[in-house]
Amino acid sequence: MDLLVDVLRHAGMQRRVLHQRVLSAAAALEFPCEKSFGFHVITQGRVFLHSPAMPAPVELRKGDVALMARGCRHVVASEAVLPGMVLTMGADGRHAGAGDAAQGESRSAMVSGAYQVWNTPVHPFFSELPPWYVLRADEAGPIDQIELAVKLLAHEVARPEVGSETVTQALLDIIFTQIIRKILSRGDGMPQSWGGALQNAQIRAALELMHGDCAHEWTLEELARRVGLSRAGFAQKFKLALGTPPLQYLTTLRVQKAMDLLSNTGDKLEAVSQAVGYRDAFSFSKAFKKLTGIPPKEFRLRDHREKGDAWRFQ
């Protein structure tokens, strides 16, 4: 199974194309994205990325991609020093009153995508991602999928035709997924990480078993047997790879899936409990509160209230 897709789906990830933005001289645009992944693809000229997570503005040139994996307010500007007026992206993701630069002006252009995870996820994948990841145009090889997608994206937004929005979203999805792959493959230098664990065939097999059916009454013995290890050897190998015991990881996985069910279904608490592997609502509620800080009923009520928020993707 596709483990990354499973993690993102149960985290409730929603996506939105933010379309092409053109920045004239002394222009700056703020992105209020506390609850989103987001990334900017520079399709023309250069811009400067201003973020509280960075010690100084970062210059981005044509073909560069900057991925924000920890939501935060940030500004993309045409200069390293912010102008007196900074325009803010609207809640619809389309208009902030900026307007395109007039023809003939020196300008830069970018296309942005946002991938929102509204409720704070508990899966370790999210905490392992760096706040920002910048991929330079010259770091990709001539047949790198990101480099090809960026070129196609620049062409598509420059000459929009029928179906351009669909094509643009597909290209942004390719860029997003390929960057996540790069981050996972390097493990970001972490000795214990979810991305690093995927490189181990036996641990990956165990993860696929748990993700494939988290409601199953998995035991250490069964998981170990299914991946061809002894009970003790599997437990040790799993914890060395991820920094957490297998059954603790399973609890996290179950709670993450439960968050999705509580948010997107009207199922009663007992049904949600059984769907994620708990025999009764009491034991489920105890595990849920331990990981999220609030009981499942309170989580559902809060989530329901916040669905009317203008900034929440639907």
The residue ranges of every structural domain in the chain are 12-189, 200-306
Long-range contact pairs involving 156-159 (C-beta distance under 8 Å, separation at least 24): 157/19, 157/20, 157/43, 157/109, 157/111, 158/43
Alpha carbons within 13 angstroms on the beta-carbon side of residue 195 total 19
Residue type, 120: T
The more confident residue out of 52 and 205 is 205
Share of the chain above pLDDT 70, in %: 92
Average pLDDT (10-32) is: 85
Give the list of residues 6+ apart from residue 194 with CB closer than 8 angstroms, or none.
Answer: 123, 124, 125, 128, 184, 242
Q: What is the pLDDT of residue 37?
A: 86
Give the list of residues 6+ apart from residue 99 with CB closer than 8 angstroms, or none.
Answer: none
Edge-to-edge order in the sheet of strand 28-31: 58-61, 46-50, 74-77, 28-31, 87-88
Residue type, 271: A
Rounded to whole angstroms, how far apart are CA atoms 145 and 131?
Answer: 23
Average pLDDT (165-178) is: 90
Average pLDDT (97-112) is: 60
The more confident residue out of 204 and 310 is 204
Q: Tokens standing for 238?
A: 């799993």
Q: Roughly how many angstroms between the first and final C-alpha of the chain, as a whole number?
A: 26
Rounded to whole angstroms, how far apart are CA atoms 87 and 90?
Answer: 9
Q: What is the pLDDT of residue 251?
A: 98
Same fold, 12-189 and 200-306: no
Evaluate the CA torsion angle 111, 49, 309, 21 in order and state its sign. Answer: negative
Would you say 310 and 94 are in contact if contact means Cβ atoms under 8 Å apart?
Answer: no
Would you say 33 and 72 are in contact if contact means Cβ atoms under 8 Å apart?
Answer: yes
One of 3.30.360.10, 2.30.42.10, 3.90.1170.50, 1.10.10.60 is the CATH number of 200-306, namely 1.10.10.60
Q: Is 280 left (phi over 0), alpha (psi -120 to 50) or beta?
A: beta
Residue type, 164: S
Asked whether residue 247 carries a pLDDT value surpassing 50, the answer given is yes
Asked whether residue 107 carries a pLDDT value surpassing 60, the answer given is yes
Q: What is the pLDDT of residue 102?
A: 37
pLDDT band for 98, please (50, 70, 90 cuts): very low
For the chain, list the strands marked E by DSSP.
Answer: 14-24, 28-31, 36-44, 46-50, 58-61, 65-68, 74-77, 87-88, 107-116, 132-135
Q: What is the pLDDT of residue 262?
A: 97
Lowest mean pLDDT among 142-146, 218-222, 236-240: 142-146
Asked whether residue 188 carries a pLDDT value surpassing 60, the answer given is no
Rounded to whole angstroms, how far apart are CA atoms 114 and 40?
Answer: 9
Average pLDDT (242-269) is: 96
Q: What is the pLDDT of residue 213?
A: 97
Q: What is the pLDDT of residue 56?
A: 94
Average pLDDT (215-238) is: 97
Rounded to whole angstroms, how far apart are CA atoms 91 and 61?
Answer: 27
Q: Tokens standing for 54?
A: 């960075």
Q: What is the pLDDT of residue 211?
A: 97
CATH number of 12-189: 2.60.120.10
Q: Which tens digits make up the pLDDT trace of 50-94?
A: 998 899 999 999 999 999 988 889 999 999 998 888 888 776 555
Mean pLDDT rounded to a whole number for the chain: 88
Lowest mean pLDDT among 36-50, 95-109, 275-289: 95-109
Q: What is the pLDDT of residue 142?
A: 56
